[in-house]
Amino acid sequence: MLGSGSSSVSLLVARRYLRSTRRDAFISFLTFTAAAGLALGVAALILALAMLTGFQSALKEEILARTPEIEIQLPTATGYAEAAEIRHAVTELPEVGAAQLVTRGQGWVTAEGRVRAVELIGFEGELPASFPEASDRAEGLYLGARLADAWGLEPGQVVEVASSKPTLSPFGPQPRVRRLPIHGRYASGRTDLTDRVALPLEQAAGLLGSRGYRVQVATGDLQKALVLAPELDGLVPAGTAIRTWRELNRGLFFALRLEKSLMFVAVFLIVAVASLALVSDLTLIIASKRREVGILGAMGTDPGALRRIFTLLGGLLAGLGVAVGGAVGLGLALFLDRTRLIRIPTGVYFLDYVPFDVRPFDVAVILVATVTVALIGAGYAARRAAALQPVEALRR
């Protein structure tokens, strides 16, 4: 009975003490500083993580648009016929939307005396989905828009495509070269480190020799692709490597997660400092309420309930700061994302504005972590109140 009574008393007293913090100028200033610090920390965390997530989402979207969902790399000894059979078998699976035979290797594109190292990707059938925004996806040679624009190349013009694999001739090793007309262009990604050139599989196989075939599988759903990948094992010969979009970008995705975690830790320091301000604020409040703590003790408030009063007071202050900070952070993030107010000069980055992507999970982590740290600080300060002997507190 006393326990439940003392809990409600703790909350009642904590709420009154929260109101009374306005009376004393020093306490009022410290209280404002602590709550405002927590609010600032929460708002900064929400904004920083939303901005980072916005950039990362855009980057991932950009990367994933240029990455096959699943790539089956067949052993180099696998011939075209066998590769085509495997592709057919994969296409038969109900989850698979499309499967395409491709081959990849390094090479160069030359036109009018200019040369550029490129990645050659030979494809069968339609231009693969990893070459976005092509106006027409029929078989042919496709260049990235960036390269085409830089060199002033138009569809119909002929370029030379050379492979790094030489052919032995009576005059020594000679590069393998094909003269091919440009069929179309696709949108270059600003994240592409090397230009990619798509060309018909037959031409690419001729240029690259027995580099090995790959089957690129599309399901239309990234998560479904992750589930499907292990099931493909039974359809392929030994020595085949099956990689999903996640494995193909493992290093990058890890770096992005790491970047977000480090950003969280760095900005969370604001919350840590604000929590220290909260500890000093509560310590000052406890010192100013010393005699009242003694009276409450004399009336029968046990040490646990006394500690709860000041922990709850800290919790209420933290709650206030977190609520204000959360509202400001969320409001600003949504406003800045919607209005695209912060612009980036076009051409510098793969976006021309700073995106803000607020994830509920991130917000929940920020709020829980902030309240937890503030409560730990408050609990630490509140121990002083619980440790105060009523007789000591009452002594003038």
Partner 1 sequence: MSVAIEATGLHKSYRDGERSVDVLRGADLSVEPGEFVAVVGPSGSGKSTLLHLLGALDVPDAGSIEIGGTAVAGLDPVEAARFRNRTIGFVFQFQELLADFDALENVMMPGKIAGWRSGRARDRALELLAEVGLEDRSDHFPNQLSGGERQRVALCRALLLEPPLLLADEPTGNLDPESAVRVFDLMIALQEGHGTTALVVTHNPALANRCGRLLQLDGGRLEAFAGASGSG
- Binding residues for partner 1 (CB under 8 A): 1-6, 8-9, 12-13, 16-17, 19-20, 291-292, 294-305, 389-391, 394, 396
Angle between helices 250-288 and 303-339 (to 10 degrees): 130
Q: Identify which of residues 73 and 288 has a Cβ nearer to partner 1 in the complex.
A: 288
Please, what is the minimum distance in Å from the beta carbon of residue 63 to partner 1? 59
Give the CA distances from residue 304 to residues 3, 148, 229, 318, in Å, rounded to whole numbers and listed in that order.
10, 74, 56, 20
Q: What's the CA gap between 98 and 87, in Å, rounded? A: 9
Distances (CA, A) of 334 to 90, 343, 352, 355, 368: 43, 15, 17, 10, 21
Shortest distance (Å) from residue 282 CB to partner 1: 16
Query: Is 58 or 394 the residue whose CB approaches partner 1 more closely?
Result: 394
Closest separation in Å from C-beta 27 to partner 1: 13
In the complex, the smallest distance separating the C-beta of residue 390 from partner 1, rounded to whole angstroms, is 5
Tokens read off for 134:
């092509």
**Looking at beta carbons only, is 1 or 193 nearer to partner 1?**
1
Enter the tokens of residue 310. Answer: 């000041």
**Inter-CA distances, 365 with 229, 321, 327, 373, Å:** 32, 16, 15, 12
Strand partners of residue 166: 175
Q: How far is the CB of 15 from partner 1 (least distance, A)?
A: 9
Closest CB to partner 1 among residues 299, 348: 299
Least distance between partner 1 and beta carbon 294 (Å): 8
Closer residue to partner 1 (CB): 13 or 102: 13
* Sign of the C-alpha dihedral computed for residues 384, 386, 390 and 391 taken in this order: negative
Closer to partner 1 by Cβ: residue 105 or 390: 390
What backbone phi and psi angles, to 5 degrees, belong to 118? Answer: -140, 165
Which of 137-148 are b and which e, b meaning 16 or more Cβ less than 10 Å from the residue's Cβ? Answer: bebbbbbbbebb
